[in-house]
Chain A
């Protein structure tokens, strides 16, 4: 499997089941969003910070989680300062920081395969409503299997175009790539049918 964002470890958080952690995350988020107090939000943030330490993660990993949302968060805080009160701006930043960090913590301490398996287990009662869990699980596995292969084909297409002396444009890369995927799909489906 492609390397996920999971960081190996042996903390109690690592050992907790994926379903439990997801449920806890949902509860945490609900609580955080239903109490409009900067103090509660700051408490939540401190709690998450403590959990990072308990899971054995340092400041670098902690900050890396915030980086993707940092810019938007700063912009939103500025908008709040301008439109509303400093306390509102503070509440917003604290809430999102806590929420994003908590969600990131679940990802950091749970293997992708465990999350997918937990998802499949949760979906299986829906089989009675006509949901084909076998097909969903096949689709997930196929996608994970073919992500490196599709990247490889994209690199090949790019190489072939450079070899022919043209600078690849997005369209000239994407069209041959997609046509190859569509042809592959026929063969892959045939091979799955042959083994089923």
Chain B
């Protein structure tokens, strides 16, 4: 469970988010809002990439400020642009990156890399160069790089914005099959139809917090 208590967030002297009090426990949570509404900052608060200027954020009781490392183990994060997220030259090395940081032995790393490649339909991609992959393949590799660490939550910040419809569907299909709790920030309302809960942000505040149908209605009214 993620709990956000009395949170305000300032960036560069400007208030980006304020008056946030909520707990997240549903398996599928959507986050929508216009550009600059604060929804991406909200996503970053949840795994401690940003720390609140006031109030606190906890994940299963772990404070993002004091226990950043433990929080990041629980909460994986997929960014919009896979190009800036994949840090190693080949697919296999990149998947191994997070595992090495956890001090796993080499054979175990190799085993988990192979299993993860399989699970994401990336068999035979281990030695492929990242810069030779298509945009969709790269996003899939980035997702695999997050999931290989077996987080309990997955936060996705507009993961399909740079993809065509076919690749976007492939990513969302992979996400849908996950047992993990998912927090999805998106502009694409069609992705949220079968979600449990949708948060609508407007000008740094949580404007609506409801089931998808009601929340999307409210969002369309705001977006006009």
Contact = CB atoms under 8 A, between A and B. Distances in A.
Interface of A: 1, 138, 141-142, 144-145, 148-149, 152, 184, 187-188, 190-196
B161 to A, nearest CB: 14
Interface stretch (B1-9, B14-22, B79-87, B190-198): B79-87
A102 B163 CA distance: 49
A195 B47 CA distance: 10
A196 B72 CA distance: 7
Nearest to A188: B84
Contacts of B84: 184, 187-188, 191
Contacts of A142: 87
A46 B68 CA distance: 61
Given A187-B79, A187-B81, A192 B49 contact: no
Contacts of A187: 79, 81, 84-85
A145 B72 contact: no
Contacts of A195: 72, 76-77, 97-98, 101, 145-146, 149
B49 A145 contact: no
B130 interface: yes
A141 B49 contact: no
Nearest to B98: A195
B79 A191 contact: yes
Interface residues on B, range: 20 to 34
B106 interface: no
B131 interface: yes
Interface in B2-59: 44, 47, 49
Interface in B79-114: 79, 81, 83-90, 93, 97-98, 101
B65 to A, nearest CB: 14
12 contacts: A1-B89, A145-B86, A145-B89, A145-B131, A149-B83, A152-B131, A184-B83, A187-B81, A190-B44, A190-B79, A195-B76, A195-B77
B74 to A, nearest CB: 12
Contacts of B210: none
A149 B81 CA distance: 13
B129 interface: yes
Contacts of B97: 195
A192 B83 CA distance: 12
Given A194-B47, A195-B146, A141 B76 contact: no
Given A1-B89, A194-B79, A195-B101, 18 more contacts: A1-B90, A1-B129, A138-B87, A141-B87, A141-B89, A145-B86, A145-B87, A148-B131, A187-B79, A188-B84, A188-B85, A190-B79, A192-B87, A194-B77, A195-B77, A195-B98, A196-B69, A196-B72
